[in-house]
């Protein structure tokens, strides 16, 4: 059942191929399509395209459909009888209230309708992800405080380098999440602009009020140029997944560290046996499958920006059907991110830190720089001290003590976690999610 259907039916193979996975992806957009329609019909009423009675009738019916969907009285499988979610809602509305429902699409195209739905979806998903990232951030900050003075070897080129601590390690990933939030905020700024009213990409001859729908939906601003509003589709999603790829990089690297540190040759960390998996033939195995899968899922997300770049390469002016398949690349990746964060929270809430890593001579070479610095503090030039310690290492006379005195900002003795927490809270507050949450609630209430 298609809103655009003409007298000659589309060949079934063409219909099946062009539909693709769009029905499945539309299940993500139910809520947002109704929110957008509620704002649109209020605007139509304000410019006298709809009478007040028609607006009220359509509005009440849309809210009832919204409630039925929220309460699972209407299931997603129903839309398999329709071309897409937009057709389903409009035709369902027509069943409920009759002819006046057919006025709802006035001054709107499915192009700006879909684009609006996607932006509303992305806006909500970014909010949920920011909240989830903050939880993991708080956990890593807590572990950083807890293990600030627990020794951990530091590496460069995967060779022993300098003494470090688990506090510094946990804190590094906490601040990395803060850094990841900055491009996510930039992506959110692009998402939080209203494309509704751009129609098929060239505006409308109706005297629509785009500022009103912007206000009703709680957008920061609108995409002013109608062509740009449409050609931004694909670009905005790519910028969002580029931001997600930074987060994925942090989670993948941390997971890779854990795979290494759990290895028996390192024995830096451990987990309860029920959080690891075993081997079918080697009874001693405790495999870090969670971290390996987080690493793999996150590395796959890191590939998404390039996938979207290739899909949108050299598209002609205006809407192209290529853009449809972007949804199946982008929409599921948010749940993947949430699953990865959930599993990392589970693992890190149960992590066991080895407090005795430095009890052997294996890590003596970590303290060569400390020895050099001691000599420098006696007045010896750095290059002379470096040469002297090198000679000690070569003739095996090097001796060391395990105490360190790192006091500068961001070192093992001065983690600056309080400032990192302060910066994270300021950044999260700058999103100002409440500005549109209240607007959305007002539309459906």
Q: How far apart are CA 74 and CA 355, in angstroms?
A: 56
Q: How far apart are CA 46 and CA 40, in angstroms?
A: 10
Question: Around Cβ 180, how many Cβ atoms within 10 Å?
Answer: 20
How is residue 11 annotated by DSSP?
P
List, in order of start, the domains of the chain with CATH numbers.
12-103 (1.10.275.10), 110-147+165-196+225-357+420-432 (1.20.200.10)
Residue with tokens 């900002």: 409
pLDDT tens per residue, the chain (445 residues)? 555 455 666 666 666 666 666 677 788 898 999 999 999 999 999 999 999 999 999 999 999 999 888 887 665 554 556 677 888 888 889 999 999 999 999 999 999 999 999 999 999 999 999 999 999 999 999 999 999 999 999 999 999 999 999 999 999 999 999 999 999 999 999 999 999 999 999 999 999 999 999 999 999 999 999 999 999 999 999 999 999 999 999 999 999 999 999 999 999 999 999 998 877 788 787 889 999 999 999 999 999 999 999 999 988 888 888 888 999 999 999 999 999 999 999 999 999 999 999 887 788 889 999 999 999 999 999 999 999 999 999 998 888 888 888 999 999 999 999 999 999 999 999 999 999 999 999 999 8
Q: How far apart are CA 243 and CA 252, in angstroms?
A: 15
Q: How far apart are CA 6 and CA 226, in angstroms?
A: 28
**b (16+ CB within 10 A) / e for 243-260:** bbbbbbbbbbebbbbbbb
Identify the pLDDT of residue 71.
81
| β-strand partners of 155 | 160
Q: How far apart are CA 59 and CA 62, in angstroms?
A: 5
- Ramachandran bin of 74, using left for φ above 0, alpha for ψ from -120 to 50, beta for the remaining angles: beta
Identify the pLDDT of residue 190.
97
Beta pairing, strands 159-165 & 151-156? antiparallel
């Amino acid at each position: 059942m298609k809103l655009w259907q003409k007298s000659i039916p589309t060949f079934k193979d063409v219909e099946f191929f062009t539909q693709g996975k769009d029905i499945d992806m539309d299940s993500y957009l139910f809520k947002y399509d109704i929110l957008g329609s509620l704002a649109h019909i209020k605007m139509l009423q304000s410019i006298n395209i709809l009478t007040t009675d028609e607006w009220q009738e359509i509005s009440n019916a849309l809210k009832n459909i919204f409630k039925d969907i929220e309460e699972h009285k209407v299931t997603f499988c129903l839309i398999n009888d329709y071309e897409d979610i937009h057709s389903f809602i409009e035709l369902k509305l027509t069943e409920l209230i009759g002819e006046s429902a057919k006025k709802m699409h006035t001054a709107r195209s499915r192009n700006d309708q879909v684009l609006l739905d996607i932006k509303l979806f992305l806006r909500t998903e970014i909010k949920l992800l920011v909240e989830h990232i903050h939880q993991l951030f708080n956990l890593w900050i807590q572990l950083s405080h807890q293990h600030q003075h627990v020794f951990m070897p530091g590496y460069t080129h995967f060779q022993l380098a300098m003494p470090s601590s688990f506090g510094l390690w946990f804190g590094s990933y906490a601040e990395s999440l803060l850094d990841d939030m900055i491009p996510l905020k930039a992506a959110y700024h692009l998402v939080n602009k209203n494309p509704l009213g751009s129609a098929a990409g060239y505006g409308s001859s109706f005297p629509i009020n785009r500022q009103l729908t912007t206000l009703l939906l709680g957008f920061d601003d609108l995409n002013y140029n109608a062509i740009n509003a449409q050609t931004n589709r694909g670009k905005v999603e790519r910028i969002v997944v580029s931001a997600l790829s930074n987060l994925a990089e942090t989670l993948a690297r941390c997971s890779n560290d854990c795979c290494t540190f759990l290895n028996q040759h390192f024995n830096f960390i451990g987990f309860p046996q029920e959080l690891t998996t075993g081997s079918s033939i080697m009874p001693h195995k405790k495999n870090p499958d969670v971290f390996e899968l987080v690493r793999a899922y996150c590395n796959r997300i890191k590939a998404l920006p390039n996938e979207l770049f290739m899909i949108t390469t050299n598209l002609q002016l205006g809407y192209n059907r290529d853009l449809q398949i972007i949804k199946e690349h982008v929409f599921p990746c948010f749940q993947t991110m949430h699953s990865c964060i959930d599993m990392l929270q589970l693992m890190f809430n149960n992590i066991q830190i080895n407090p005795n890593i430095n009890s052997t001579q294996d890590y003596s070479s970590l303290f060569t720089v400390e020895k050099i610095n001691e000599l420098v503090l006696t007045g010896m030039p750095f290059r002379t001290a470096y040469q002297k310690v090198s000679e000690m290492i070569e003739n095996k006379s090097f001796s060391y003590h395990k105490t360190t005195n790192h006091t500068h900002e961001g070192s093992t003795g001065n983690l600056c976690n309080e400032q990192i927490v302060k910066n994270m809270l300021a950044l999260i507050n700058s999103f100002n999610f409440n500005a549109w949450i209240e607007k959305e609630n007002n539309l459906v209430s």
